[in-house]
């Protein structure tokens, strides 16, 4: 019955892991979550089902959790999840297990991979340099070899996360309030005078929040953001910015940007067109 991998990626880290894993696991079909959001029920047809996503504010993106709730997993005898992150602790897999438990399913294995940060709003942030990216890539390939063997053998893997780089001593307590923080978490985007009206931000916007008005992007208040930072990082002029507010001083005007070296704007936008894009553009 093969393998289905459902994935969500804003700037390419999770997409890269998805594509690399597809190379290693025979008969794997890729299913972009964004392209399936309009469905009331998503019925799987594979024996092995995986979900790959980035960590947002120490949790899985809310759309990934909501998508998981809509999944009909009757075909799945083995379920795995992979989270990509800069290095923070997270509670994503505990949330997954809770949702799956209500469906009579379990999360058979789960893995967290450290990758480069795509969040340039913080002071002294900088995109990963070539040497750092090479080190990350080497570690990723080693981890993927280990992960592929576990998935192919349908082994159980519930290893404790010991590879986080941002230590939070009170994380078990902090994690209890994360759903509330996520609910009210918000950042406002705008385009500065460097904007040329090229429309790249609209193209890569996975939530449909951006529309072009008189040749300039407008972030529609009535449309929820997925907080994927695609618009911020793929703007060719680095014109897209995050506004500072009472709780956050943003440094996007000063900082550079990051997207995965092997993920183009077209690759990110392709998630909205379901899997046909990748069948024709990736070997």
Reported as a single tens digit per residue, the pLDDT across 1-52 is 799 999 999 999 999 999 999 999 999 999 999 999 999 999 999 999 999 9
**Spatial distance between the Cα atoms of 275 and 283, rounded to a whole number of angstroms:** 13
Q: Which residues contact 165 (CB under 8 A, 6 or more apart)?
A: 86, 87, 88, 114
Contact 140, 17 (CB under 8 A): yes
* pLDDT tens digit sequence for 178-227: 666 665 567 899 999 999 999 999 999 999 999 999 999 999 999 999 99
Confidence of residue 127 (pLDDT cuts 50, 70, 90): very high
Query: Does residue 171 register a pLDDT over 70?
Result: no
**Strands, E assignment, the chain:** 3-7, 28-32, 42-43, 48-54, 71-72, 78-85, 109-114, 189-191, 210-213, 216-219, 240-242
What values do phi and psi take at 250, rounded to 5?
A: -95, 140
Beta bridge partners of 7: 32, 52
Query: Does residue 270 register a pLDDT over 80?
Result: yes
pTM of the model: 0.92
Q: What is the pLDDT of residue 277?
A: 42
* pLDDT tens digit sequence for 78-100: 999 999 999 888 999 999 999 99
* pLDDT tens digit sequence for 135-150: 999 999 999 999 999 9
Query: Does residue 55 register a pLDDT over 70?
Result: yes
Q: Which runs of consecutive H residues, i.e. helices, occur in 103-170? A: 130-152
Query: Does residue 176 register a pLDDT over 90?
Result: no
Q: What is the pLDDT of residue 101?
A: 97
What values do phi and psi take at 249, rounded to 5?
A: -95, 115
Q: What is the pLDDT of residue 166?
A: 67
The CA-CA-CA angle for residues 259, 137, 34, to 5°, reads 45
Query: Does residue 69 register a pLDDT over 70?
Result: yes
Beta bridge partners of 52: 7, 82
Q: Which residues contact 222 (CB under 8 A, 6 or more apart)?
A: none
Structure tokens at 164: 């986080």
Query: Does residue 162 register a pLDDT over 70?
Result: yes
**Residue 55, SS3?**
coil
**Spatial distance between the Cα atoms of 53 and 227, rounded to a whole number of angstroms:** 13
Bigger pLDDT: 24 or 164? 24
**Spatial distance between the Cα atoms of 35 and 270, rounded to a whole number of angstroms:** 9
């Amino acid at each position: 019955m093969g393998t289905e991998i459902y994935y969500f990626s804003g700037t390419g880290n999770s997409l890269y892991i998805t594509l690399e894993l597809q190379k290693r696991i025979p008969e794997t079909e890729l299913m972009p979550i964004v392209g399936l959001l309009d469905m009331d029920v998503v019925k799987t047809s594979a024996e092995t089902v995986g979900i790959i996503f980035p960590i947002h504010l120490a949790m899985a993106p809310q759309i990934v959790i909501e998508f998981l709730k809509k999944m009909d997993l009757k075909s799945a005898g083995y379920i795995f999840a992979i989270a990509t992150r800069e290095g923070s602790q997270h509670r994503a897999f505990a949330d997954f297990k809770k949702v799956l438990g209500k469906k009579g399913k379990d999360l058979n294995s789960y893995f967290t991979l450290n990758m480069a940060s795509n969040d340039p709003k913080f002071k002294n942030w900088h995109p990963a340099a070539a040497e750092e990216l090479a080190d990350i890539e080497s570690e990723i390939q080693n981890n993927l070899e280990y992960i592929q063997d576990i998935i192919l053998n349908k082994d159980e893997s519930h290893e404790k996360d010991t590879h986080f780089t941002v230590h939070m001593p009170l994380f078990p307590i902090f994690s209890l309030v994360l759903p509330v923080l996520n609910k009210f978490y918000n950042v406002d985007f705008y385009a500065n005078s460097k904007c040329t009206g090229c429309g790249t931000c609209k193209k890569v916007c996975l939530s449909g929040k951006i529309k072009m008005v008189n040749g300039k992007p407008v972030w529609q208040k009535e449309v929820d953001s997925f907080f994927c930072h695609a618009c911020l990082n793929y703007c060719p002029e680095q014109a897209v910015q995050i506004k500072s507010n009472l709780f956050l001083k943003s440094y996007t005007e000063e900082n550079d940007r990051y997207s995965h070296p092997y993920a183009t704007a077209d690759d990110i936008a392709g998630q909205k067109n379901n899997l046909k894009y990748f069948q024709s553009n990736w070997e």
